[in-house]
Amino acid sequence: MPSRKQRRRREKLQRHEYEYVIETEDGEEITVEKPVVAPKPDGKSTARPAARRGGREIPKPSMARVAKRTAIFGPLILVVVFWTGGDSTTASKVFTAVTLIAFFIPFSYLVDSIMYRVYSKRQRGADSG
């Protein structure tokens, strides 16, 4: 998606109907479809490298991040267990919620580490290729 600056530049180019011209050695002006870009002296092209895919960077897995996530989802799990618990006692609902949270913590860390590992492999592959 183009940035605001790129959109404005494109709109400006479409607003003004001027032609691209090349001036010859004799002083004549020749109209061309697109501007001619001279190659750099070192042989590299002036085109930008392809944009990387994948969005934002995946941070290393950490227990602090997992603790924050648990602090957000723990009360939600407790509310859902109380809401869907039916005729169970309060103690059994709390026990169920604590058990689910106990499974949530290592599973969350595992998912973070797998995502980081996949991201790292893709970065290494993109850098070498």
Per domain, the residue ranges of the chain are: 63-128
Q: What is the C-alpha separation between 64 and 59, in angstroms, rounded? A: 12
Q: What is the C-alpha separation between 108 and 63, in angstroms, rounded? A: 10
Q: Which residue has the higher pLDDT, 38 or 75?
A: 75
pLDDT of residue 43: 58
pLDDT tens-digit map of 8-50: 767 666 655 556 667 778 877 777 776 556 666 665 555 555 5
* Terminal C-alpha separation, the chain: 25
Place of tokens 């001279």: 38
Q: What is the C-alpha separation between 102 and 125, in angstroms, rounded? A: 36
Q: Which residue has the higher pLDDT, 14 or 62?
A: 62
DSSP 8-state symbol, 86: T
Q: By three-state DSSP, how is residue 20 classified?
A: strand
DSSP code string of 22-39: EE-TTS-EEEESSPPPPP
pLDDT of residue 71: 97
Range scoring the smallest mean pLDDT among 23-32, 46-55, 58-67, 81-90: 46-55
Q: By three-state DSSP, how is residue 21 classified?
A: strand
pLDDT tens-digit map of 89-123: 999 999 999 999 999 999 999 999 999 999 999 88
Contact 35, 20 (CB under 8 A): yes
